[in-house]
Structure 1
Amino acid sequence: MPTTLRLAALACLTAGSLSAAESALRFVDLRAQGGLTLNDGETANLTLMAGDIGNKDKHIVSLDADMGIVLGLRGQVSQVTFKRNDGLGDLDMKLGGGTFLGGLGFYLGTNSHAELVVGYARGLGSTTGSNPWDDDDTKFTQYVGELGWYYTWSTNIQVGVTVGYSLLKVKYNDPLIGTIKGEADGFDASIALGYRF
């Protein structure tokens, strides 16, 4: 048998076996979340998350049959308190920004899955009480670790809960003093309502 025919036959067998072995869970979810951030701050988020969990033989990164890579984007608004680095008290801020999320998804059953993710966020803030995009006198960076559990009904409606930890760093431009830096860290918790596409 010519080499070309052997390669074609091998390619057909491989493609057939891969198409027969489907992933345990493939999803794109849109979630609205609300809750607490940094122990006592408030946050509201809109998260778009995608994943392909299961069938380790089909992935570039080989993981357990019930695990897979998940990636997402999040828009967020928060109201938080920071400690100033100059020792002159705390700074109350409204923040708005975006987060890139990535991590592992875990298949827990037909309707249920979990996500363990880390995130990196950038955005603008305001110390005046106005919205960040109206008076962006502050820039912030955020580092996030989060564990979430989600249940999705056959109607594609989804509910979930998340717990995590965040570290936020800010730079505030005071017209009299100059640049002031601040930092805050603490636990996060939220509930989610979403839809699976």
Structure 2
Amino acid sequence: METGPARRQDTDVLSELPGELMMWVLIASEILVFGAGLLACLGVRIGDPVQFASDQALLDRTAAAINTFALVTSGFCAAAAVRAREAGKRGIARRWLFAAGCLGIVFLAVKAMEYASKIALGIGIETSPFFTFYFLLTGFHALHVVAGVGLLAFVAWADSLRNMEAAVAFWHLVDLIWVLLLPIIYVLR
């Protein structure tokens, strides 16, 4: 077993992570899962770029822009909650968490309207390979938004700094995944 400065340095690196180590393990695994899905989606795009572009043109870029604004703003609110909690301002931290959670709910409402409009057009998960990936990736992401909103609500109640840091780290994962999904699913033509 190592002792001395080398051992302390290793421990200090892990202790510098905000939140809990297992949350970071979860975040890394989720990035790998979404990364694999996005790579598979890109493989489909390469295999049939004309059909991919045709299907992609049916998506609502305005809804995607609104959702991007909602999630990026919610990430700011979540980070502000941690800063407020660090400063000992529990009430303000809770308000920031509430704002972040509400913006997550806005995201879910816009996504539900987007799904409803596709379904009304007869577009579903089996319509084409593009829409299979669209519904799977954005649906899985939406489940993460639901979990994140739940976590934010929980840490607003059990508001230790460590709990809040872990939940906000997960919430930033939700933001990051959306920022990765957005160009591949909605933007790149």
Q: Do they fold alike, i.e. is TM over 0.5?
A: no
What range is the shorter-chain TM-score in? under 0.3
Per the normalisation by structure 1, the TM-score is: 0.21
Q: More strand by proportion, 1 or 2?
A: 1
Higher helix content, 1 or 2: 2
